[in-house]
Amino acid sequence: MSTTNKDIKKIREAVKRNKRVRYTPVKPEMQLGFIHHNVDCIGCRACEIACKDKNGLAAGPRFRRVQYIEGGTYPNVFAYKVNMSCNHCEEPACLPTCPTGAIFKRKKDGIVDIDSTLCIGCRRCEAACPFGAPQFDPSDNLVKKCNMCVDEIDAGRKPYCVMACMMRVLDIGPIEKIWDGSLETVAKGANDSVSRQVKNMANIELTKPSIGFIAHSKGKVK
């Protein structure tokens, strides 16, 4: 079911009402985000495996997910991959829904994280996120998600998923530099343009996700 402009307006108004009551939005000093090359990605899922290993995840939860997109009619067929985890949104829908304040956005880099000591497993954040980032872990009745490997970030390194990518099509950096094409990264070619949204993805105006794509011609939205 598609989301209309009227639906988007209602959702954004509801989020604003909750924000005024429950928390003060954080404007980070610098917003980190992901960039992914949809065309050069071979779908090996090494990033998924590295993420599960780093976070000790059992079967089921996957913080990073590689989607295979195929279409067309022979001989005009196409295929590409869309690789996403938590988008550490500018206006995260998960944050105002949390009744305990377990979800927070870091001031220095905009990373959205969950304090597991405060999480009660109510799953409201899971229902609110349009990208499916928060995921319930039945092994300990907590909701968990990608936190961009904050321990690695704080140590001056990159997340496990980025380091595991054998094709170097996944990277992180200041999101403004990703969007304007000025980030120095091998995930983007010299003549590639960056898209903020691709098909098979929720409308970015809902939460303003911190992600950029080198999109396939059949998958580019804007």
Domains in the chain with CATH codes: 5-214 (3.30.70.20)
**Quick one: tokens of 69?**
């997109």
Instruction: Answer yes or no: are the C-beta atoms of 179 and 35 closer than 8 Å.
Output: no
pTM: 0.87
- pLDDT in the model for residue 221: 83
Confidence band for 192, pLDDT divided at 50, 70 and 90: very high
Say whether pLDDT at 21 is over 80: no
Q: What's the pLDDT at 164? A: 98
Inform me whether the pLDDT recorded for 85 exceeds 60: yes
Name the average pLDDT for the chain: 91
pLDDT (tens digit per residue) in 58-78: 888 899 999 999 999 999 999
**Mean pLDDT confidence for 158-163:** 98
Per residue in 173-185, pLDDT (tens digit) is 999 999 999 999 9
pLDDT band per the 50, 70, 90 thresholds, residue 111:
very high
With a cut of 70, say whether residue 172 has pLDDT above it.
yes
